[in-house]
Each structure stands twice: as structure tokens, then as C-alpha cells.
């Protein structure tokens, strides 16, 4: 991991926006369209708002989510709603957005349709941005659940349905293999507990932690933007 520490969320967000702009701009010089994967959660609203201010040709950038709660896209708990509110609705041009929520009652029933949607996005993903949970989860890949065994292997779907044992809502998540199929990966980490987890994992990789699964799978340095 290549870790960068920042004093506050404003400085972190601006630095992330500069980084993402550079990655996307460089890729756009080589191909007509590029792709950006973003997470949900509380922190993205800050750095996505900063990214929205960057002069990028958004009509050539496909945007999708790392994961989604199985709620209506207008819900306050929806990652799609968050991305629209803090990024897409502020762009001068229209980006090609691919949401993960469908009209199906469960994420299990939606896998085939979501696969078809994701096939419209340039892959490998140009830039995948992830958050980190205090338990080491990324996207909606949590430690200790049976589906992780399947997500470590080649699967027929880009996504997996997630039934968290504690969280109140079902979720859909890009599989570990799909997340790893990225040219660049950025991790945004806020809070002392999460930063201590990074310190621990740098000293000794814990095979039960989803972030470790990803780090061991990818062939590039993961860029970390972090603050207390």
C-alpha cells in the first residue's frame, strides 16, 4: 500500500480529486471511454463533491458502484442516491451511470440483469475507489461469511448477493475478482480504528480480512488516502 496521511477531510478530498482526475485524464488519452467505480458510506460525499468540480469529459466516463443496499434508489440508505446527490447531479456533462439496484425483490434474483449492465462498462475498470470498514470489509464483502469462498474463485457473475448477519438490509456487491480487475485502486480510510487496522495489516496480513484478500490478488500498489 502507498499511504498518504491528511490533516482534515477537505485536504484529503482535494488531493483525492486531483489524483482521480490525473488517472482518468491519462487513460482518456489512450481510449475513448473509461470507467470509475465508487463506494457508498459517509466519507464519499466529501471527495465526490470535490471530484465533481474537476473539468473532465464526463460523457466519456462510465460510473458504477462497488456495492449497493437493496433499497429504493431514492432512499437515504441508497449508494446510488449518494453518488447522484454529490457527484452526478453537479456535472456539466452527463456521465454514463450504471446502478446496481433492479426491480427484483432480492439481489439473488437480479444477478443476471446486473451482469448485463456491467458489460456496458469498460473493463478492467480504470479506477476503483473503496472504503474500509472497522472489521476490514470492502464494498459489501464482509469477513467470516460463506460467500467469500465463492468470491475468491472465478464465478459466472460480476456480482454476488450478500446477506449480512447483522446489517438490516440485503446487499449486492461486486465480487472480489471483479474489484481486482482494475487498473488502479484507491482506498479512502478515515478514523483511528481503521488506520490502526492498516498498521496491523502492514505488519502481518490477516487472511480473514477482506482487504487482505484484495491486496493479495492485485498486482499494483493500492493508493491510500487516510486521516484520523
User: What CATH number is attached to the domain comprising 214?
Assistant: 3.40.50.1360
In this prediction the pTM is: 0.95
Domains in the chain, number: 1
Compute the average pLDDT of residues 127-146.
91
Count the Cβ atoms, other than its own, within 10 Å of residue 77. 14
State which residues form the domain around 93.
2-227
218-228 pLDDT, tens digit per residue, is 988 999 999 99
19-54 pLDDT, tens digit per residue, is 999 999 999 999 999 999 999 999 999 999 999 999
* CA distance linking residue 228 with residue 223, whole number of Å: 17
Q: DSSP strand E in the chain: where?
A: 2-5, 34-38, 61-65, 67-69, 96-98, 125-130, 159-162, 171-174, 182-190, 223-227
Amino acid at each position: 500500500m502507498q499511504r498518504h496521511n491528511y490533516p482534515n477531510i477537505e485536504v484529503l478530498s482535494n488531493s483525492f480529486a486531483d489524483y482521480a482526475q490525473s488517472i482518468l485524464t491519462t487513460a482518456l488519452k489512450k481510449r475513448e471511454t473509461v470507467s470509475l467505480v465508487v463506494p457508498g458510506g459517509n466519507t464519499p460525499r466529501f471527495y465526490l463533491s470535490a471530484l465533481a468540480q474537476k473539468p473532465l469529459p464526463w460523457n466519456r466516463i462510465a460510473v458504477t458502484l462497488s456495492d449497493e443496499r437493496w433499497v429504493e434508489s431514492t432512499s437515504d440508505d441508497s449508494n446510488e442516491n449518494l453518488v447522484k446527490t454529490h457527484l452526478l447531479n453537479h456535472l456539466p456533462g452527463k456521465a454514463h451511470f450504471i446502478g446496481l439496484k433492479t426491480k427484483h425483490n432480492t439481489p439473488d434474483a437480479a444477478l443476471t440483469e446486473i451482469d448485463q449492465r456491467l458489460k456496458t462498462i469498460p473493463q478492467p475498470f480504470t479506477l476503483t475507489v473503496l472504503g474500509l470498514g472497522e472489521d476490514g470489509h470492502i464494498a459489501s464483502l464482509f469477513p467470516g461469511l460463506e460467500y467469500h469462498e465463492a468470491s475468491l474463485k472465478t464465478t459466472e457473475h460480476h456480482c454476488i448477493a450478500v446477506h449480512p448477519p447483522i446489517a438490516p438490509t440485503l446487499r449486492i456487491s461486486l465480487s472480489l475478482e471483479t474489484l481486482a480487475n482494475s487498473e488502479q485502486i484507491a482506498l479512502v480510510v478515515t478514523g483511528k480504528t481503521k488506520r490502526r487496522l492498516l498498521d496491523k495489516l502492514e505488519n502481518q496480513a490477516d487472511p480473514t480480512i477482506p482487504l487482505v484478500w484484495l491486496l493479495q490478488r492485485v498486482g499494483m500498489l493500492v493508493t491510500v488516502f487516510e486521516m484520523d
